Amino acid sequence: MKLTLKIWRQKNAQAKGQMVTYPIDGIDGDMSFLEMMDVLNNELINKGEEPVVFDHDCREGICGSCSMFINGEAHGPDRLVTTCQLHMRKFKDGDTITIEPWRAAGFPVIKDLMVDRSSFDRIQHAGGFISINTSGNTQDANAIPIEKIDADAAFDAATCIGCGACVASCKNSSAMLFVSAKVSQFALLPQGQVEATDRVLNMVKQMDEEGFGNCTNTGACEVECPKGISLENIARMNREYLAASLKG
Amino acid sequence: MSGLLKSSIGRKVAMALSGLFLVVFLTQHFVINSTAVLAPELFNTWSHFMGTNGLVQFGLQPVLIFGVVFHFIMGFALELQNRKARPVKYASYKGGAAAPWTSRNMIISGLVILAFLGLHFYDFWIPEMIHKYVETHPEDPTRYYAETVHKFENPVRVGLYVLSFVLLALHLWHGFASSFQSVGFNNKFSVALSKFAKVWSVAIPVGFIIIAVYLHFNQIPH
């Protein structure tokens, strides 16, 4: 497969970046998108040029590192996949592929396609946890009966890998899907009730401070989320937030 | 509680609640207007009531004006904040692949509705206020139907009204159904509620279009 890649190159956070075009040949349909990027980087290194910097780690759709905005969509044209799970067979010989970093005030570019997602860490630190002493005498979680429907919904929310595709896809760069997943995974379980009020208030406050936009309920985040996190979580967070605001 | 309107969620709830209030207003506006086609005498009676009742004029009217102004100001504030949240735009952004046009362009449909409200106030509300409170004519309870029909004599005005109602339908198509999500209502009833909201969002503007076109083609002598 012969392709033309248009890739965002930016020296550092302060530099003004630009799109650079790279022709590439010999790409197999069974390669993953990141393997194709590896081929490109090998060629660049062999030519003495600087390779394209991009985030990647597990390469099996778990870590959420591989943030790339491919042809106008987070993680490219496929659904329920991260970039590392995207195969080159989704593209045709002769295609031009535009590759950009996540674009959001809350995700400043560090270099090329790599963005700083520590804003998500700070939101998590603000309340995405439960204060249970895990020193050894903790009650077995299975000893607390939880309705299957709630346990499943909490687990679905907990599958969020914090990749930021929701922010990247949203026209407002809103982080509501991410934050709502992190709120929901505790809101549905008895273990999450102790800090429920502070959790949602503090996490939303931090989200707003990080410069993410508002939710317009377009549903773009849900469509592009590699883990299929649903908009139901945002509605649940809204309810939690309203209830917490009235209380606290 | 104090910071609610400063928070992103508080603001979207405020947008949803003011929007739902305007949906209720539109429904009653449509019901009264439909009598201009179905029963002109009833139109006069109801218009006279709405135009002279103290509770409507000095109680509900200011609340309505506040609701409209609040919805627009909050909408602009959110739009500005949302634009700031993505300082560098994408070279390639397939918004349409994941979200419908109506949901991504509420500001466009909203601005057209705002422009329409300017025209609508110029046509009806301002003359009505001058007639009642500045020039203080003796009240004629039969004047409303003829005045309304004559407003729709000009085909350009009818065209502008029809265009605005189409944009109103697009605005409501997303706004009405999504307001329930904003206030946290997402459960087994949501699909049915969303379907009802979408039918309503088309039916009411189409009804307004039918009224405008009907009155244009059924003029009465001045």
Q: Are residues A182 and A220 in the same domain?
A: yes
Q: Looking at this protein, which amino acid is placed at residue B69?
A: V
Q: Are residues A85 and A128 in the same domain?
A: no
Q: Are residues A125 and A96 in the same domain?
A: no
**Cβ distance of B104 and A218 shorter than 8 Å:** yes
pLDDT at site A139: 78
Give domain status of residue A212, yes or no: yes
pLDDT at site A189: 94
Q: Are residues A13 and A64 in the same domain?
A: yes
Residue A108 has pLDDT above 60, yes or no: yes
Count of CB atoms situated within 10 Å of the CB of B114: 15
Collect all residues of chain A within an 8 Å Cβ-Cβ radius of residue B175. none
Give domain status of residue A110, yes or no: no
Tally of structural domains, chain A: 2
**Alpha-carbon span B126 to B121, nearest angstrom:** 6
**pLDDT above 70 covers what percent of chain B?**
99
Give domain status of residue A92, yes or no: yes
Give domain status of residue A67, yes or no: yes
pLDDT at site B137: 82
Q: Are residues A167 and A94 in the same domain?
A: no
User: For B103, which residue in chain A has the nearest alpha carbon?
Assistant: A218
**Cβ distance of B182 and A239 shorter than 8 Å:** no
pLDDT digits (tens, 9 = 90+) for A19-29: 999 999 999 99
- Name which of A214, A219, A224 is nearest B11 (Cβ-Cβ): A214
Collect all residues of chain A within an 8 Å Cβ-Cβ radius of residue B85. 104-106, 172-174, 211-213
**Alpha-carbon span B68 to B21, nearest angstrom:** 9
Distance from CA of B120 to the nearest CA of A (A): 28
Q: Are B148 and B125 in contact (CB under 8 A)?
A: no
Collect all residues of chain A within an 8 Å Cβ-Cβ radius of residue B10. 241, 245
pLDDT digits (tens, 9 = 90+) for B88-125: 999 999 988 889 999 999 999 999 999 999 999 999 99
**Domain hosting residue A236, numbered range:** 117-132+144-247
Residue B1 has pLDDT above 80, yes or no: no
Tell me the CATH number at A80: 3.10.20.30
Distance from CA of A189 to the nearest CA of B (A): 18
Give domain status of residue A243, yes or no: yes
Collect all residues of chain B within an 8 Å Cβ-Cβ radius of residue A77. 97
Residue B53 has pLDDT above 80, yes or no: yes
Count of CB atoms situated within 10 Å of the CB of A61: 19
pLDDT digits (tens, 9 = 90+) for B194-218: 999 999 999 999 999 999 999 999 9
Band (pLDDT 50/70/90 cuts) for residue A135 is confident
Give domain status of residue A7, yes or no: yes
Q: Are residues A77 and A155 in the same domain?
A: no
Collect all residues of chain B within an 8 Å Cβ-Cβ radius of residue A184. none
- Name which of B1, B82, B89 is nearest A246 (Cβ-Cβ): B1
Q: Are residues A60 and A121 in the same domain?
A: no
To 10 degrees, what angle do helices B155-182 and B190-217 make? 170
Q: Are residues A11 and A95 in the same domain?
A: yes
Q: In this complex, how many residue pairs, one in chain A and one in chain B, have their CB atoms less than 8 Å apart?
A: 136
As beta bridge partners, residue A98 has A6
Mean pLDDT of all residues belonging to chain A:
96
In chain B, the domains with their CATH numbers are: 4-84+100-217 (1.20.1300.10)
Sheet containing A96-100: give its strands across: A18-24, A3-9, A96-100, A69-70, A73-74
Give domain status of residue A139, yes or no: no
pLDDT at site B172: 98
Mean pLDDT, rounded, for A135-144: 81
Q: Assign residue A211 a region: left if phi > 0, alpha if psi is -120 to 50, beta otherwise?
A: left
- Name which of A69, A205, A218 is nearest B103 (Cβ-Cβ): A218
Pick B96 or A39 by higher pLDDT: A39
Give domain status of residue A166, yes or no: yes
**Cβ distance of B8 and A169 shorter than 8 Å:** no
Collect all residues of chain B within an 8 Å Cβ-Cβ radius of residue A239. 184
pLDDT digits (tens, 9 = 90+) for A165-201: 999 999 999 999 999 999 999 999 999 999 999 999 9
Q: Are residues A167 and A45 in the same domain?
A: no
pLDDT at site B222: 83
Q: Are residues A34 and A98 in the same domain?
A: yes
- Name which of A100, A172, A218 is nearest B91 (Cβ-Cβ): A100
pLDDT at site B2: 56
**Cβ distance of A217 and B182 shorter than 8 Å:** yes
Q: What are phi and psi of A224, to 5 degrees?
A: -90, -10
Mean pLDDT, rounded, for A232-241: 98
**Alpha-carbon span A110 to B159, nearest angstrom:** 52
Q: Are residues A199 and A88 in the same domain?
A: no
Q: Which of B4, B5, B6, B9 should one mutate to test binding to chain A, selecting the residue with the greatest count of A CBs within 10 A?
A: B9
- Name which of A103, A207, A214 is nearest B82 (Cβ-Cβ): A214
Mean pLDDT, rounded, for B17-31: 98
Tell me the CATH number at A214: 1.10.1060.10
Q: Are residues A157 and A194 in the same domain?
A: yes
